[in-house]
């Protein structure tokens, strides 16, 4: 089944994007100066990566009967200086909190997400070197 979104110009360099369920967000360009009214498309790409791998981690740890109480993903991207300015390097830091999280299970969940399940990561890997690290806070 195809995925459809609608992106509509909202004036200047601002666009609204909406999915088929009516959930929307606003995008704007960094060169819009002090008028920045939304998230840039390239920031959205990093957010998509964080959301995709985050969903995987939550689902995998749940199946492993791990008691995850908080997951924060800090995603940092470095872009080319010349157009097209795609990400050449991306780092994902996973910060997990829970009750007696098993470090080997956390490592396995991250590995499965990065190597098998995260579609956004798979789409970006051709051009970007993606690295990761994690911290477990009890």
Q: What is 41-137's CATH number, 3.30.930.10, 3.30.300.20, 3.30.450.20, 3.40.50.2300?
A: 3.30.300.20
Mean pLDDT of each 10-residue bin along the chain, 138 residues long:
96 94 92 76 97 98 98 98 97 97 98 98 97 95
Task: Estimate to the nearest angstrom the gap between the alpha carbon of 43 and the chain centroid.
Answer: 9
- pLDDT of 83 reads 95
Task: Taking each helix axis as running N to C, give the angle between helix 41-63 and helix 103-112, from 0 to 180 degrees, rounded to the nearest 10.
Answer: 130
Model pLDDT, residue 33: 64
73 cis-preceded (ω within 30 degrees of 0): no
* Phi, psi of 78, deg, nearest 5: -120, 125
In this structure, what token pair is assigned to residue 49?
């990566």
Output the pLDDT for position 23: 98
Those residues whose C-beta lies under 8 Å from the C-beta of residue 104, and which sit 6 or more positions away, are none
Q: In the chain, what are the domain boundaries?
A: 5-35, 41-137
Parallel, antiparallel or unpaired: strands 24-27 and 15-19: antiparallel
pTM of the predicted protein model:
0.93
Distance CA 104, CA 46 (A): 26
């Amino acid at each position: 089944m195809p995925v459809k979104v609608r992106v509509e110009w909202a004036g200047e360099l601002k666009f609204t994007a909406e999915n088929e369920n009516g959930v929307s967000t606003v995008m704007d360009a960094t060169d819009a100066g002090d008028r920045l009214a939304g998230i840039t498309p390239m920031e959205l790409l990093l957010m998509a990566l964080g959301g995709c791998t985050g969903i995987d981690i939550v689902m995998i740890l749940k199946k492993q009967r791990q008691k995850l109480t908080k997951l924060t993903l800090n995603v940092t991207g470095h872009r080319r200086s010349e157009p097209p300015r795609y990400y050449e390097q991306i780092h994902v830091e996973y910060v997990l909190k829970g009750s007696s999280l098993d470090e080997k299970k956390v490592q396995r969940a991250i590995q499965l997400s990065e190597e098998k399940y995260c579609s956004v990561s798979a789409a970006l890997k051709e051009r970007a070197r993606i690295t990761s690290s994690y911290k477990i806070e009890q």
